[in-house]
Structure 1
Amino acid sequence: MTQSVMVLGAGMVGVSVALHLKRRGFDVVLVDRQGPGEGASFGNGGLIQREAVFPHAFPRSVSELIRIAKNRAVDVSYHTTDLPGFAVPLLRYWWHSEPARYQRTVEAWAKLIETCVDEHLALAEGTPAMDVLRPIGWLRLYGNQQALDAALAQAERAHKEYGVNYRALDAAAIAEAEPSLLIRRPGGIHWTDPLSVSDPHALVMAYFHLFAQEGGRFALGDATTLAQAGSGWRVQTQEGPVEAERVVVALGAAAEKVTKPLGYDPPLFGKRGYHMHYRMQGNAVLNRPVIDTDSGFALMPMRAGIRLTTGAEFAGTDDEPTPIQLERAEPVARKILPLADRVDAKPWMGVRPCMPDMLPVIGPLPGKPAVWCAFGHGHQGLTLGPTTGRLVAEMMSGDAPFVDPAPYRPERF
């Protein structure tokens, strides 16, 4: 008999889960309070990051902590009044970043990252999704030789241990690759495996259209109304109540609003981020995404223009936007590239769903086997959506999962 599933959350992860479940014969309804791909998936840096086998650990050097504490950086900002709410997850994040524990995280994280490009292409081949996937990688620049040498050593480790490919570039090679850059850097790394996404929202929509074409349904609704209904589950939508036998929570940073009433309160925390698009002056171009390490932000060539994306802002999820990082970054960005006018009327803001051990939560809810988790991917929801979708669908179907799901199980917290 066909089993029914509600997938709560229509970002890259939720859409990918819904599509994979539909292809395995489930009757699937996708529910979100807004249109598909309009949350955090809309505004990210637009990279399928095959190279990202080392998740970002909590800073452990005193000098770095002092720099962040001054709250004047481009890459990290915080609301002082909201910091107490981050105390427990950030302490756990620091604890999990201890070198031995961090290495265990890397091993589990890399198993997911290693699959990301193949899983995206498996969904995208022969569809309009291919129009926005560019096999051009991205470029990270370094302002001093010491930082470059350390990065190259880690890149070589990523290559040997996890099959990541890269090219080392000197100053001349950088200038040849990106002739419109206004700065000179002694060297950089061109990560050649990642896919650059010229329109992340269009990519989510391409996968969503596949889901709809194959018989999947979508409803605008409020996931926080989730309640048991007999042997199944019910959510209120604009079309009226929607019921299903099983549920997948793919709500990103808002997941705990649904899981906490069900008795599961993960140490999930959100990092807010912003972006703004810019036109380029004259005939200037940016051929591939660039991150200048010294500057602390990314510049991404998109359909809409050059997307400047910020680092992390620690603030209440529902606080008003405070795009101070963009204000700090824009003058620096204009010294890196010949940017012209802003394209957007106002900055975009989204929230990245992070876990203190840097691993997503994937699997059945403890004590509620009909409710499944698929959230907590940090900065890599766009990267890992199809991987997570396949993993969840295989597990819910009772098939052998293609990746060992044990490190991501919800009951680890």
Structure 2
Amino acid sequence: MKIAIIGAGMVGSTAAFYLSQDHDVTLYDDGHGQATKAAAGIICPWFSKRRNKPWYRLANGGAHFYRDLLADLAETGIETTAYQQKTTWLLKKKPKLIDDLMAIAQKRQVDAPLIQEIHKLSPSYQQAAFPAWRYDGDLIQTDAGAVVDGQALCQDLLAGARTFGLRVKDMKVSLDKISDHEIIVKEDQESYDIVVLTSGAWLPSLLIGHDYQVDIRPQKGQLAVIQTDWDTSQIPLIMPEGEGDIIPHLDGKIFIGATHEDEKGYDLSTEPSQLADILSTAYALVPELADFPVNELKVGTRAYASDYAPFYGPIPDQANLYVASGLGSSGLTTGPLIGRELARMINGEATKLDPSDYPVGNYISRD
């Protein structure tokens, strides 16, 4: 089949990697505003108190799917360094919340083999593990977390897909014609058997002109990148309450963030003032971070549905038009598995999750 994918974030890049192994695939992306490029990269869903069970199944499955994804990439000759498993620290101001979260995660261990160890760590042990650390309360430590450089992983996935013949076109596109037999991309008048829309918060702009209503809104996210001279491979992933996560990546880089700004629409300008509170939280916990420069600000736009739930699959009345959106701030956790599930659907293979838990029809409808 001839397939077009519009959007090269985490979902689109993963779908392209798997679909190009069996089909003629073209990926369109203008590189504008991807949430993936400005994502902090935390993979640690097991301590979430969200009550949405389908979301948790997707997030837990997504965290575990990384092992398969990395193995599949390695088969193409690409040994990515974009994913790093990390000791993870979770902070809560109230001691009871620590006990509650530990109980939740311990209960989830049965279906989460990545979780091997969960401990309550005292301040003296914290200080010994990370001498620059300043915190006077207990925290949770687990070995199950990970960090992902989303931009780098997408590049590796596309490099792997190119070995199977993927074509990438760096351009903004729209849909000219949608029928049961073909879908035409307007800008180059290419006709496709199937089109997959993985454009995140920009999904409405692709469908509104074809009489669809789309329940998606944008949320701006910013994060700061601090360049240190530390061995960041030895620093834990740190998740305080709120937005001030401290995320160590490779080469001495530490990401701080990210913000959640609901009223900024599709604005992609950098606003350091929005990061002031987050940076102050990080500096209070690791004062020596203030000695290093903030050498980059990353900005992206997340996609949220009105009920904060993700969805993916074919549009109900258009079996050759697939979509995925609504991933919000868990896009790096859930995105690769969603991309793989879309490829399975298109190939007629059994899916790992129940697609009815993520119904497209609840979020996209005809006028």
> What TM-score range do you get, normalising by the shorter chain?
0.7 to 0.9
Match of 1:411 among 358, 361, 365: 361
CA RMSD of aligned residues (A): 2.6
Give the structure-1-normalised TM-score: 0.77
Against the structure 1 CA distance between its residues 48 and 285, is the aligned structure 2 distance closer, same or farther, given a 3 Å change threshold?
A: closer
CA deviations over 1:227-271 (Å, ceiling 9, x no partner) = 21773222245xx33331111110111111112333332321222
> Which residue of structure 2 lines up, in the alignment, with residue 149 of structure 1?
99
Q: Is the 8 A contact 2:200 2:303 kept in 1?
A: yes
Which ranges of structure 2 fall in alignment gaps of 5 or more residues? none
Shift of residue 316 of structure 1? Answer: 3.1
Q: How does 1:10-409 map to 2 (within 5 A)?
A: 10-23=8-21, 25-34=22-31, 39-51=34-46, 54-55=49-50, 102=51, 105-106=52-53, 108-125=54-71, 126=74, 127-159=77-109, 165=115, 166-181=118-133, 183-197=134-148, 199-223=149-173, 225-228=174-177, 231-237=181-187, 240-280=188-228, 287-293=235-241, 296-303=243-250, 305-319=253-267, 320-337=269-286, 338-339=288-289, 340-344=291-295, 347-409=297-359
Alpha-carbon separation, structure 1, partners of 2:229 and 2:80: 29
Shift of residue 121 of structure 1? Answer: 2.3
Against the structure 1 CA distance between its residues 180 and 242, is the aligned structure 2 distance closer, same or farther, given a 3 Å change threshold?
A: farther
Letter aligned with residue 142 of structure 2: W
Shift of residue 282 of structure 1? Answer: 7.5
Letter aligned with residue 295 of structure 2: D
Q: Percent identity?
A: 21
SS class of match (1:258): helix
Which ranges of structure 1 fall in alignment gaps of 5 or more residues? 56-101
Letter aligned with residue 39 of structure 2: N
Alpha-carbon separation, structure 2, partners of 1:172 and 1:186: 10
CA deviations over 1:105-163 (Å, ceiling 9, x no partner) = 22x12222232244222222225454232222421122332332333333334335666
Alpha-carbon separation, structure 1, partners of 2:311 and 2:90: 29
Alpha-carbon separation, structure 1, partners of 2:40 and 2:285: 18
Give the structure-2-normalised TM-score: 0.86
**Equivalent pairs, count:** 352
Q: Is the 8 A contact 1:50 1:164 kept in 2?
A: no
SS class of match (2:308): coil
Alpha-carbon separation, structure 2, partners of 1:229 and 1:50: 38
Alpha-carbon separation, structure 2, partners of 1:390 and 1:282: 36
> Relative to structure 2, which stretch is displaced further, 283-292 or 205-214?
283-292
Alpha-carbon separation, structure 2, partners of 1:27 and 1:408: 27
SS class of match (2:264): coil
Alpha-carbon separation, structure 2, partners of 1:163 and 1:283: 28
Letter aligned with residue 238 of structure 2: V
Alpha-carbon separation, structure 1, partners of 2:63 and 2:258: 24
Alpha-carbon separation, structure 2, partners of 1:362 and 1:195: 25
